[in-house]
Amino acid sequence: MKSLKDYLDKINPVDRNITTGVQKRLDSQTKPLGSLGRLESFCRQLASVQGTVDPLYEKKVIFTLAGDHGIVEEGVSAYSQSVTAQMVANFLNGGAGVNVLAKHAGCSVVVVDMGVASDLDFKGCVGRKIDYGTKNFTKGPAMTREQAEKSIVTGIELALDYDFDILGTGDMGIGNTTPSSAIVSVLTGIEVQEITGRGTGIDDNALMKKVNAIKKGISVNNPDPADPVDVLSKVGGFEIGGITGLIIGAAIKKKLAVVDGFISTAGAIIAQDLNEDISDYFVLSHLSAEKGHDIFAKYLGKKPVLDLGMKLGEGTGAALAIELIDAAMHIYYEMATFDQAGVDKKIEA
């Protein structure tokens, strides 16, 4: 097995020079300069990521990674741990939110067991279980360092194994906003309570327990902010490491990653902290309604594509953003130019 370091060494910066040619094409089309705003930036980014003025965009895959969390013992979630496995079955049956929105966006969904607490023998589920859930991080590390690295490498290799032009990330794991807030608090130095919210809908009492559990986990394990793998192992989760890996894997393949919401952005922060060149390889699909996600986005220096008050995870935000990116690429390839349409250009001042 290649090491994480081997893979990180394979990442190259995107080719920013490509954007000149892309913008030239966009500017030849029958619209005022720059008038399609962010749609035009999607075209530039996809081209610079792929290193060509003719980027591909038709094959779109959302990876929904599932894992369980020992921290649920502390009463940090509104749902019981059994729901993680039940939702995996729901994904495989096509009934969940991500299935509906992915289908709408022309994406396939790959469902991966990264560390669900029970044995899953569901047809179609990709088995990459690192362990039967993480440990309760108020009592010690969530996982070993080897497991943390393995979760990231597993994500990388998933991205390398599947064929796609655009990758979307997604997560399922009861309790996983808790490790996400913990990871980001350590890596960014932002106070725990600033970036810890109600997840799937906990009350004030459970929110207090959640904040305290995160603080205790950080205090007990003393993760090193300069070492993202250490942070992932101490207070993280298998599916979060997997998402970090998916984003790294997309960058290695020179493909765009569309990062879902709160949990996926925690994974993206680990990825970017591991290698800053990765930043140009992903977009944040939407601003989650989960408290603190705006702070995550700011740390990454990115504006999420959508702001629809969503907080479901699974890859639902990624699916919607991919639909807009797809629309942008249709503009790029299909819109008429001024010359083709016989439309007069802007009056020169």
Query: Could you list the residues that contact a second copy (CB under 8 A)?
Result: 29-33, 35-39, 78-80, 82-83, 86-87, 89-90, 93, 95-97, 100-101, 103-105, 199-201, 203, 205-206, 289, 305-312, 316, 320, 323-324, 326-327, 330-331, 334-336, 340-344, 346-347, 349
Which of 118, 109, 114, 53 has the alpha carbon at shortest distance from 85? 118
Complex with a second copy: residue 241 or 304, whichever CB lies closer? 304
Measure the CA–CA gap between 206 and 333, rounded to whole angstroms: 51
Whether residue 230 contacts residue 182, with contact meaning beta carbons closer than 8 Å, is answered with no
**CB of 232: closest distance to a second copy in angstroms?**
25
In the bound state with a second copy, the residue whose beta carbon lies nearer, of 2 and 330, is 330
Instruction: Tell me which residues are annotated as active site.
Output: 314
Residue 220 CB, nearest approach to a second copy (Å): 26
Are residues 72 and 51 in contact, defined by beta-carbon separation less than 8 angstroms?
no
CB of 326 to a second copy, least distance (A): 7
Cβ 15 vs Cβ 255: under 8 Å: no
Shortest spacing between CB 278 and a second copy, in angstroms: 24
Give least dist CB 336 to a second copy, A: 3
* Between 243 and 322, CB nearer to a second copy: 322
In the block, tokens 């954007």 appear at 19
CB atoms within 10 A of CB 21: 14
Write down the least CB distance from residue 101 to a second copy, Å: 6
Helix ranges (DSSP H) in the chain = 4-8, 18-27, 37-50, 82-93, 97-104, 145-161, 177-188, 204-221, 228-235, 238-252, 262-274, 293-300, 316-334, 338-341
> Residue 273: what are its φ and ψ, rounded to 5°?
-65, -30
The nearer residue to a second copy, 28 or 162, going by C-beta atoms, is 28
Q: Which is nearer to a second copy, 222 or 341 (CB)?
A: 341
Cβ-contact 107, 60 below 8 angstroms: yes
- Residue 244: half-sphere exposure toward Cβ, Cα within 13 Å: 33
Hey, what amino acid is at 308? L
Task: Tell which residue, 39, 23, 26, has the closest CA to residue 326.
Answer: 39
DSSP, collapsed to helix, strand or coil, labels residue 326 as: helix
- Please report how close the Cβ of residue 4 comes to a second copy at its closest, in angstroms: 33
Dmax (CA) for the chain in angstroms is 71
The smaller minimum CB distance to a second copy, of residues 69 and 311, is found at: 311
The sheet with strand 108-115 has its strands ordered as 126-127, 108-115, 60-67, 166-172, 256-259, 282-284
Contact 84, 175 (CB under 8 A): no
- By beta-carbon proximity to a second copy, the closer residue of 12 and 340 is 340
